[in-house]
Amino acid sequence: MPIISLNRTDVFFGRERELVRIRECLNDPGFVIVTGMRGSGKTAILRKLHGENPSRTTLIDMRCADIREVHEGIQDFRRIMALARTVEWNILIDSMPPEPSAFREAWKMSSMYSMGCAVSTTYSRHLLDEIKEGIPELAIVNIPPLRDRETENYIRMKAPKFRATAAGLDYIYRLTEGLPLFIDSFLNVLSDGVIYGPALLEENFTAKFQQIAFPWMVELSQLSPVEKRILSDLCDAPIPEGAVGDEEIEGLELRGLVELRGGEWHLTSKLLLRVLTELRKQVGCL
């Protein structure tokens, strides 16, 4: 039996400073971008904010909605906009696609109705630079990964039945890089009643890799053959800037999968490298 269920969302850990900062930014300047690595907890923070005042907060998941359709076509949403003119109202938009025009649309909408607006997106320096050019007043709040002790406390809160050696807990931290989504994914394939050390955890990771890496697998399935080839090459070595065309790599940067450091393109995390390496090993390709 799994130690936790991925459907369980009632546990929220840490992020108090980030929550305070987002609340402040919703008032001044009123438009805030919540960003961070994939799996860092951006969705959890927006759900927390919505849960604090659900009667005056609207939460929209852009994975199943379009901001233009929501704005123009849904009567309930128009009613909310009318209310927003008379009472303090916040709109929270989760998982905004990496298109600067979508952020400008959300900013115009929030300005038109005098609402606070928080929009979450995976970190991309390229995307944020483009957004800053088109929106005169905004705030950016970065959600960092959990630190080692925070990861241990998060595991104890989320999965009180989980038992592991100190080395086992360190293994999970190093593997997941302190990203709550991937900590949850890993815990979800483990069973209670076992004391886990690094060797046993590694066995579980290899045997149940595709379940654990499901969030990455979904993202990778949406890439073009050219983008997959670039990621595969980056598993072996960084790629010098200019070695691939801007259009070829821009989509990967906007998705938060690659970043430019010291004149070279790199994968954004060791976890992504491990996922891609294991995928090539088990499947033969990306």
Q: What topology is assigned to 16-142 in CATH?
A: Rossmann fold (3.40.50)
Q: Is 214-283 assigned to CATH 1.10.10.10?
A: yes
Contact 5, 145 (CB under 8 A): no
pLDDT at 10: 53
pLDDT at 160: 86
16-142 against 214-283: fold identical: no
Task: Give the whole-angstrom CA distance, residue 37 versus residue 83.
Answer: 34
pLDDT at 11: 61
Q: List Cβ neighbours of 28 (8 Å cut-off, separation of 6 or more).
A: none
- Convert the pLDDT of each residue in 189-231 to its tens digit: 888 889 999 999 999 999 988 888 887 888 888 899 999 999 9
pLDDT at 73: 45
Contact 188, 4 (CB under 8 A): yes
The stretches in the chain having pLDDT less than 50 are: 6-7, 9, 73-75
Write down the domain spans for the chain: 16-142, 148-212, 214-283
Task: Give the whole-angstrom CA distance, residue 216 versus residue 139.
Answer: 28
pLDDT at 87: 61
Task: Give the whole-angstrom CA distance, residue 219 versus residue 235.
Answer: 17
* The one-letter amino acid at 205: F
pLDDT at 131: 93
